[in-house]
Amino acid sequence: MPNIAVLPGDGIGREIMPQALRVLQAVVKDLPETWEFSECLAGGAAIDALGKALPEETLKVCHQADAILLGAVGGPKWDTLPGPERPEMAALLGLRKEFGLYANIRPVKMLPYLLDASPLKRERVENVDMVIIRELNGGLYFGEKGRKTNPPAAYDTMIYSEDEIRRILHVGFKTAQARQKRLCSVDKANVLETSRFWREVANQVATEYPDVELSHMYADNAGMQLILNPSQFDVMVTDNTFGDLLSDIASVLGGSIGMLSSASLGEKIGLYEPAHGSAPDIAGKNLANPLAMILSVASMLRHSFARHEAAAKIEQAIDRVFAAGYRTGDIAKPGDKVLGTKEMGDAVLEALR
Ligand code: NAD
């Protein structure tokens, strides 16, 4: 019996999660097994109620779960807390560390109906179909950090072990093997020692995948190429920091970050969340696009439960909603029928029927 830990989090997380759950429940009711959902607090909401962004109760529920669904955490209310207590650090990085979620997978595919929502010219984005794989459990975000006095200074350290690089490269090569067999490894080997090591390991791992063509690209150029010629990429693999930046750049190719789902996979359990944050500027206004969260549910059905048909049903329902001309504000162009968060959830449910 699949058991899903549901963590709506903060801001628009609390608005998009209910829509994604409605869609998920509609799809799994046709499956033979019973699905269980356990909702709990994480992020700023958990700090307010229980004094900690990742309370023990939440961790316990997640440990008993087969997969975790997360909305988004953080917001201005908690921005003044010391770094380690902030929702993003304590809850998000805490979950990644606790469950060893080392591979973040973000598909970026241009949907035909959204070609005009992209800030780039149609001919530049129409063939975009790529996957960005970001190392999520090491590097700069997890290295030793601190402050110094006299003179005042701050530092973050970046360290990558061979094992950490090797395992994410394997995810990259396997993903490429199942697609167009082209893997681009992104680094800054011209300036960073960790990147030079990353490149050496990537070249070693490549010998195990003779059918995949490996290329290397500097991160600054990769940012530029994502804008100039994004359709050149099949699978991109990179470290935690570059992956954070590049996947956000790639997210707007499709029109809005509100369309981009993300899967974070470890040895045992997967965490599925939209690529965006809690969007305090639009929270509570029924303006958020729930589709990244709904697509994260489809990704969970695929990666954690091999329920490919159920996942495809959701993706096809979204296609039908677009074909009927419905959009949320972030992806609408003149003439589209603009829906709120809840109404977009209604539309996807209707299209599922
Ligand atoms: P953000 O992704 O929340 O918002 C960036 C912009 O995109 C905003 O203009 C927002 O309105 C828009 N946007 C985001 N999601 C949208 C959606 N579904 N529909 C329509 N528009 C959408 O990034 P930010 O503003 O830098 O961060 C806000 C808070 O979220 C911060 O506290 C940050 O730390 C946190 N954050 C959390 C996560 C996470 O939980 N995984 C990720 C990133 C940022």
Residue 350 has pLDDT above 90, yes or no: yes
* Same domain membership, residue 269 and residue 248: no
Same domain, 225 and 266: no
- Does ligand 1 lie within 6 Å of residue 13's CB atom? no
Q: Is 141 a catalytic residue?
A: yes
Residue of minimum CA distance from atom 11 in ligand 1:
279
Q: Is residue 133 located within the same domain as residue 228?
A: yes
**CB-ligand 1 contact for 258 (6 Å cutoff):** yes
193 C-beta closer than 6 A to ligand 1: no
Instruction: State which of 208, 227, 254 marks the end of a domain.
Output: 254
Specify whether 83 is located in the same domain as 142: no
Catalytic site residue from 160, 188, 239, 326: 188
Tell whether the model's pLDDT for residue 333 goes beyond 90.
Answer: no
Q: CA-CA distance, 294 to 57, in Å (whole number)?
A: 25
- Of 330, 278, 297, 348, nearest to 87 (Cα)? 278
Residue 74 sits in the same domain as residue 195: no
131 shares a domain with 86: no
Claim to verify: residue 132 and residue 245 sit in the same structural domain: yes
Same domain, 231 and 289: no
Pairing of strands 67-72, 3-9: parallel
Judged against a pLDDT cut of 90, whether residue 132 lies above it is answered with yes
Task: Domain of residue 46: give its range.
Answer: 1-111+258-353
Model pLDDT for residues 80-127, shown as the tens digit of each residue:
999 899 999 999 989 999 999 999 999 999 988 888 888 899 999 999
Q: Are residues 224 and 264 in the same domain?
A: no
Which atom, in ligand 1's list, is nearest to the CA of 73?
A: 40
For residue 279, pLDDT beyond 90? yes
Burial-class residue 244 by CB neighbours within 10 Å (0-12, 13-18, 19+).
Answer: middle
Q: Which of 77, 278, 295 to mutate to test the pocket of ligand 1 (most atoms within 8 A of CB)?
A: 278
- Please give the model's pTM, rounded to 2 decimal places: 0.90
pLDDT for the residue 195: 98
For the chain, the straight-line distance linking the first and the last C-alpha, in angstroms and rounded, comes to 24
Question: Among this protein's residues, is 160 annotated catalytic?
Answer: no
CA 104 to ligand 1 center in whole angstroms:
17
Q: Is the CB of 289 under 6 A from ligand 1?
A: yes
Mean pLDDT (whole number) for 270-277: 95
CA of 83 to the centre of ligand 1 (A): 18
pLDDT band at 61 (very low <50, low <70, confident <90, very high): very high
Poorest-pLDDT segment among 68-72, 265-269, 312-316:
265-269
Q: Among residues of the chain, what percentage have pLDDT more than 90? A: 90
pLDDT of residue 111: 86
How far away, in angstroms, is 280 Cα from ligand 1 center?
7
Q: Which of 216, 234, 254 is the last residue of a domain?
A: 254
Pocket test for ligand 1, best of 89, 257, 289 (most atoms within 8 A of CB): 257
163 is catalytic: no
Q: Is 277 in the pocket of ligand 1 (CB under 6 A)?
A: yes
Nearest CA to ligand 1 atom 26: 277
How many whole angstroms from 285 Cα to the centroid of ligand 1?
14
| Residue 15 in contact with ligand 1 by CB distance below 6 A | no
| Residue partners of 278: CB distance under 8 A and separation at least 6 | 9, 10, 11, 12, 13, 43, 71, 72, 73, 74, 75
Q: What is the pLDDT of residues 139-152, one digit of tens each?
A: 999 999 999 999 99
Ligand 1 contact via 300 beta carbon (within 6 Å):
no
* 279 close to ligand 1 (CB < 6 Angstrom): yes
Least confident of 132-136, 252-256, 271-275, 325-329: 252-256
Name the active-site residue from 141, 160, 209, 272.
141
pLDDT-derived band of residue 49, with 50, 70 and 90 as boundaries? very high
- Which domain CATH number covers 72? 3.40.718.10
Q: Would the CB of 94 count as within 6 Å of ligand 1?
A: no
Shared-domain flag, residues 123 and 226:
yes
One domain, residues 106 and 28: yes
Same domain, 178 and 162: yes
Q: Which of 66, 129, 248, 319 is catalytic?
A: 248
Mean pLDDT of the chain: 96
20 lines ligand 1 (CB under 6 A): no
Number of structural domains (the chain) is 2
Among 220, 254, 288, the domain boundary falls at 254
